[in-house]
Amino acid sequence: ALLRKTLVVSVCMDTKKLSTGSRDAISCLPHEVLGVILSSVPTKLAASTSLLSKKWRNVFALVHNLDFDDSDLLQPEEGEEEMGVMRESFRNFVDTTLALQCGSPIKRFSLKCHIHDYYSESAHLVRWVCNALDRGVLDLSLETSVQALIPSELFTSKTLVKLRLGTQVTVEVFPPEASLPALKILIFESVLIRPDDMCNVLLPGCPVLEELYLYYDGFEGWPYRITSQTIKRLVVQYDEFEIESMSFMSIDAPNLLFLDYSHYALYDYPLVNLASLVEARLDIQYSKRVVRPDITGLINGISNVETLHLSPDSVDVISLCVGRGLLLPVFNNLVSLTFGSKNEKGWKLLPYLIEQSPKLETLIIQVIYHYYTGDVTMRTFQVKVLRVLGYEGTAKELEHFKFFIGESECLEVVIVEAAEAVVLLLVTLLGFSVSSKCKISCSLSITICRTSVKSSYFSLNG
């Protein structure tokens, strides 16, 4: 995208150097260059250039990115009759735009539409998607407002590299010959499918798939079995919907490098094969609908990880399961741990987890001072880098902070992220009696309008 923007700017600047015998200097540019320019602007604007002349109609055929979104036309305050007119206008616009391109190849096709009449409007959607597939589309994104069927041809494309199916799309039956030989990125957002179809039909037909994203929020049909020998990145975000009927999860991905798993704790994780895992982010919550969850399979399955991020909810669930008999595995490769808890019991898990992580070097503490009571017995541990998030400058925080530092003989660097208002209080940390190798630093981040504008650092070599 940055390259396209740079090209557009450069072209616009260069047109000033052209002979101005004609006031329309940009028309002198090669068709291929004009096609790149039009591919970088909204499709509606690009399509309007076809009205200028026959030449511009030919240029528009070279546009390789198409983005259609009817939300630009439909407004909630409009009446039913006006909405119907707008829907018809949108359909005509898409049909006309596709016709103007005369079947030329495209790289990206994005369609976001609000389906009103399931039977009649689904036919338009199928026709548009098939048009893009026939033209060798590489990146296809589809999102609808209600359940809408999609053509089976979508799952036999030889050219698709990235496929995103958005909310409410329905796949009643995958074609048995499903094959996406070029697909590397697959994104499902509340897509209605038969759960076994993901494992048994779709994924086996994606021999080079590298990234899989599954988002389900208040929608049935989330896949509970994921099997792939090729994926390297997996993101799973599910809610409580259907948790009683599908209360287990299996992930067989021996070459996976990154896992982001957000869900409610389930009754069982019968197969979790993540032998190559490098980084894992767990956000597991407790649901009253699963009274006695068993996360043994999940925790054992990620025990090869090098970097582990545990949300406060995850810590509390793991702590609950440990209290019911869960034995933590040894994390032989773990070097970086992010840890926090929303209750006192959760903090009692930290010493156990550190003990099971013989190579741990970096400990990141979050949400500590509101719930940590300081009565957790910590054995001297081997952490070299301690990072504290959300420091607020209270006396209780300082007391607990001293406790953490005092329990590590190997500590070399302490990083505290705090608001600007507490920086003077943090200077007192420089007087701590710690290892001569220890460098204590305070990192300040001032955020204005969600944009970081300033960073300050204090450091002292002991």
> Tokens 């041809």 appear where?
153
> Exposed (0-12), middle (13-18) or buried (19+): which is 282, by Cβ within 10 Å?
buried
Q: Are 121 and 115 in contact (CB under 8 A)?
A: yes
Tens digits of per-residue pLDDT, 253-275?
999 999 999 999 999 999 999 99
> Tokens 């909405």 appear where?
83
What residue type is assigned to position 166 of the chain? G
Tens digits of per-residue pLDDT, 177-232?
899 999 999 999 988 888 788 899 999 999 999 999 999 887 666 788 999 999 99
Tens digits of per-residue pLDDT, 371-397?
555 555 555 567 888 888 877 767 777
Spatial distance between the Cα atoms of 191 and 302, rounded to a whole number of angstroms: 27
Instruction: Give me the mean pLDDT over the 103-121 stretch.
Output: 81
Q: CB-based contacts of 118: which residues, under 8 Å, 6+ apart?
A: 146, 147, 148
Residue 357 tokens read as: 């992580």
> Tokens 């009927």 appear where?
245
Spatial distance between the Cα atoms of 260 and 301, rounded to a whole number of angstroms: 14
Spatial distance between the Cα atoms of 405 and 416, rounded to a whole number of angstroms: 12
pLDDT at 442 over 60: no
Residue 37: the pLDDT is 63
Tens digits of per-residue pLDDT, 79-101?
566 766 777 888 888 888 888 78
Supply the Cα-derived Rg of the chain in whole angstroms.
28
> Tokens 């033209």 appear where?
135
Question: What global pTM score does this model have?
Answer: 0.81
Spatial distance between the Cα atoms of 264 and 381, rounded to a whole number of angstroms: 31
DSSP string, 363-382: EEEES-TTT--S------B-
Spatial distance between the Cα atoms of 44 and 69, rounded to a whole number of angstroms: 10
